[in-house]
Amino acid sequence: MSRIGKKAVPIPSGVTASVEGQTVKMKGPKGALQFVAPDEIAVKMDKGAIKVDPRSDTKRARAMWGTSRTLVANLVTGVTKGFESKLEINGVGYRAAVQGRNLQLALGYSHDVVYPIPDGIAIATPKPTEIVVSGIDKRKVGQVAAEIRDFRPPEPYKGKGVKYSDERIFRKEGKKK
């Protein structure tokens, strides 16, 4: 039994939800999102909440049960509050700036890295060493943050690079004489 899957996803006021077959559509103050549930999962509206149940007792159906419920809950959170991911830049001369629809990163390479900001994502740089990626789609926000981090992942000796704000870098000692 999935402990997460058993719970219904409540729909707050100000959010309209509809279930058409396997498609769940949400519309709220921040925008509209939709999710297509796998065939092993039955999705239905029930008294102002969305209920997710497995159609059979197969291993895949049980695996997708909790996952589908969480993805529906992420739709509700996305259209009401949105998601954000914070990145920090460590290193001498490393900085970031938003110019138009591009994020310009100076990460110690011979050239600046220019990252085009995708649709549905907002990137802000409150400080030159801080990047805030925000949007309504959790998957997209996480993917953009991961792509920015991949330009210069943090290294273990000095900790230079782009890291998530809550990420802890395992530091190594280096050479000894």
Question: What is the domain-level CATH number for residue 63?
Answer: 3.90.930.12
Looking at 43, 64, 80, which one is the last position of a domain? 80
Q: Are residues 158 and 89 in the same domain?
A: yes
- Containing structural domain, residue 15: 3-80
Q: Are residues 16 and 58 in the same domain?
A: yes
Report yes or no on 11 lying in a domain. yes
Looking at 80, 113, 139, which one is the last position of a domain? 80
Report yes or no on 26 lying in a domain. yes
Q: Are residues 51 and 123 in the same domain?
A: no
Per the CB < 8 A criterion, the answer to whether 154 and 90 are in contact is yes
pTM of the predicted structure, to 2 decimals: 0.87
Query: pLDDT value at position 2?
Result: 67
What pLDDT tens digit does each residue of the chain (177 aa) get?
668 888 888 998 888 988 888 899 999 999 899 999 989 899 988 888 999 999 888 889 888 998 999 999 999 999 999 999 999 999 899 999 999 999 999 999 999 999 999 998 999 999 999 999 999 999 999 999 999 999 999 999 998 999 999 989 999 988 887
Looking at 80, 106, 124, which one is the last position of a domain? 80
Report yes or no on 160 lying in a domain. yes
Strand, coil or helix: 28 = strand
Report yes or no on 101 lying in a domain. yes
Query: pLDDT value at position 159?
Result: 87
Q: Are residues 52 and 74 in the same domain?
A: yes
Q: Are residues 30 and 46 in the same domain?
A: yes
Q: Are residues 89 and 100 in the same domain?
A: yes
> At what angle are helices 138-150 and 59-80 packed, to 10 degrees?
90
What is the sign of the dihedral through the CA atoms of 133, 139, 144 and 148? positive
Query: pLDDT value at position 160?
Result: 93
CA–CA separation, 59 and 117 (whole Å) = 39
